[in-house]
Amino acid sequence: MRVLGVDPGLTRCGIAVVDGAVGRKVTCVQVDVVRTPVDADLAVRLLAVSDAVEEWLDRHRPDAVAVERVFSQYNVRTAMGTAQAGGVVALAAARRGLPVVFHTPSEVKAAVTGSGRADKAQVTTMITKLLGLREAPRPADAADAIAIAVCHIWRAPMRNRLAEAEARAAEMARNHKARIAAASKRKTTT
Amino acid sequence: MRVLGVDPGLTRCGIAVVDGAVGRKVTCVQVDVVRTPVDADLAVRLLAVSDAVEEWLDRHRPDAVAVERVFSQYNVRTAMGTAQAGGVVALAAARRGLPVVFHTPSEVKAAVTGSGRADKAQVTTMITKLLGLREAPRPADAADAIAIAVCHIWRAPMRNRLAEAEARAAEMARNHKARIAAASKRKTTT
């Protein structure tokens, strides 16, 4: 499974392509940080992020795209820009019919360090180890993009189980409704 | 001047094309509300908004795109979706080289009602009057999209004056720097 992981942002957008599967070694195919000028118009910055992602999708043909979900309440203006960068990444993937999944920072941290409260340094350390890199990816946004892709690969079995459980629940609800409808029909006809 | 105004959103996205100029009558060419299914994936919803905007840009060929800027701190999840919808609108415009301006809700209210604190009903009343409509545009998101476009048209002279002032300030700063550099050069050579 090949995943494009993105740590969205306008000033720095981490982007990584990771190959792997549950129980197998994960390999980083490419990792980089896309930067856009702070003084440029928002629309121009979004276009730069979008163009970069389109290029990576063309070059690496991933099976899925994983994006970090933003929740910050601290700096609303920054959070909005980050959310918008994540939005244009999701849009580029959707245009190609690729599945896009948003992972929260704590899901990503828990997947690669075992703790949802791990700090950035811990995430970087684990990513360096897991991928057998000689040195830590720099800046932190690069390591984060790899971590998001790894999280997506490792959470795949859980996502599948969840999807199956949801499908079963929907099926049960449909059967239940059908039984009630049949019973009420019997009642009115008798 | 023809402006595409957008009140961004995933559940309801107001979209309007308005023709007009400062001191002239404003006319609404088309107004609608784009809806996307609440239970669809975020990426799919963003794609639906993007496709709709692309279609409107093709059909109406506006000179500029005006988008309402989101600032809400109340419901972060909704605010993020709204910001992302606004982001894909800005992206579509930027891809065509169109200028995109974000206006805050209070700028829009002030432009059409004279007060930045006007309520939704006031905005709808004024939009209905200003455009000489027989009835108020429904839902409110449609009226809001028209209001954003009108705000953009009416604020154009102010934007131009601001841009000129900024250009003059930048020019003055450059001249000042050049004078200092020349002075320090004279000092070192003497």
pLDDT at B3: 98
Arithmetic mean of pLDDT, A34-60: 96
Q: Do you find a cis peptide bond into A139, omega within 30 degrees of 0?
A: yes
Does residue B180 belong to any structural domain of this protein?
no
Chain B nearest CA to A46, separation (Å)? 6
Do A168 and A104 lie in one domain? The reply is: no
Do the domain assignments include residue A172? Answer: yes
Q: Is A7 an annotated catalytic residue?
A: yes
Question: In what side-by-side order are the strands of the sheet with A100-103?
Answer: A27-35, A12-19, A2-7, A64-68, A100-103
Note whether A149 and A169 are same-domain residues. Answer: no
Q: Name the residue with higher pLDDT: A74 or A166.
A: A166
Query: Quick check: B90 and A73 CB within 8 A?
Result: no
Spacing of C-alpha A158 from chain mean position: 14
Full domain range(s) for residue B89: 2-163
What pLDDT digit, counting tens, does each position of B81-114 carry?
Answer: 999 999 999 999 999 999 999 999 999 999 999 9
Taking alpha carbons only, the member of B31, B11, B28 closest to residue B19 is B28
pLDDT digits (tens, 9 = 90+) for B140-165: 899 999 999 999 999 888 888 888 88
Residues A182 and A143 in one domain: no
pLDDT at B136: 93
Residue A72 pLDDT level (bands cut at 50, 70, 90): low
Pair type for strands A64-68 and A100-103: parallel
Which chain A residue is nearest to residue B88, measuring alpha carbons? A88
Contact B8, B45 (CB under 8 A): no
Residue B152 maps to which CATH number?
Answer: 3.30.420.10
* Average pLDDT along chain A: 92
Q: How far apart are CA A20 and CA A27, in angstroms?
A: 6
- Residue-level pLDDT at A87: 96
Residue range B48-70, pLDDT digits in tens: 999 999 999 999 999 999 999 98
Q: Looking at the structure, do residues A178 and A114 belong to the same domain, yes or no?
A: no
Q: Which residues of A does the annotation place in the binding site for Mg(2+)?
A: 7, 68, 141
Same domain, A90 and A147: yes
Q: Answer yes or no: do A44 and A126 share one domain.
A: yes
Do A83 and A120 fall within a single domain?
yes
Provide, as residue numbers in chain B, all residues whose Cβ is less than 8 Å from the Cβ of A93: 43
B7 lies in some domain: yes
Chains A & B: contacts with CB separation below 8 Å:
75
Residues B90, A102: C-beta atoms closer than 8 Å: no
Q: Do B73 and A76 touch (CB under 8 A)?
A: yes
The per-residue pLDDT for B77 is 73
CB contacts of A76 in chain B (<8 Å) are: 71, 73, 79
Q: What is the DSSP string of B75-124?
A: -HHHHHHHHHHHHHHHHHHHHTT--EEEE-HHHHHHHHHS-TT--HHHHH
Q: Which residues of B touch A43 (CB under 8 A)?
A: 90-91, 93-94, 100
| Residue A73 confidence (pLDDT) above 70 | no
Q: Do residues A150 and A177 share a domain?
A: no
Q: Which of residues 28-87 of A touch B (CB under 8 A)?
A: 41-44, 46-47, 50, 70-71, 73, 76, 79-80, 83-87
| Interfacial B residues in 80-119 facing A (CB < 8 Å) | 80, 83-88, 90-91, 93-95, 100, 102
User: Does B108 map to a domain?
Assistant: yes
| Residues tagged in the binding site annotation of B for Mg(2+) | 7, 68, 141
- Residue A185, pLDDT above cutoff 90: no
Taking CB atoms and an 8 Å limit, are B87 and A46 in contact across chains?
Answer: yes
Classify residue A104: in a domain, yes or no.
yes
Q: Is the confidence metric ipTM above 0.85 for this complex?
A: no
Q: pLDDT of B167-177, one tens digit each?
A: 898 889 889 98
Task: Determine, yes or no, domain membership for A159.
Answer: no
Same domain membership, residue A95 and residue A185: no
Task: Give a yes or no: residue B155 inside a domain.
Answer: yes
> Are A171 and A138 in the same domain?
no
Residue of A nearest to B89 (CA): A43
Say yes or no: A80 and A116 in one domain: yes
> Looking at CA atoms only, how far is residue A133 from chain B in angstroms?
32
> Residue A63 is encoded by which pair of tokens?
């099976």
* B177 belongs to a structural domain: no
Asked whether A99 and B42 are in contact (CB, 8 A), the reply is: no
Question: pLDDT tens for residues B16-45?
Answer: 999 999 888 899 999 999 999 999 999 999
Angle between helices B140-189 and B105-113 (to 10 degrees): 110
Residue A31 makes CB contacts below 8 A (sequence gap 6+) with A14, A15, A16, A17, A137, A142, A145, A146
A33, A115 in Cβ contact below 8 A?
Answer: no
Q: How many domains does chain B have?
A: 1
Same domain flag for A46 and A99: yes
Q: What is the mean pLDDT of residues A26-50?
A: 96
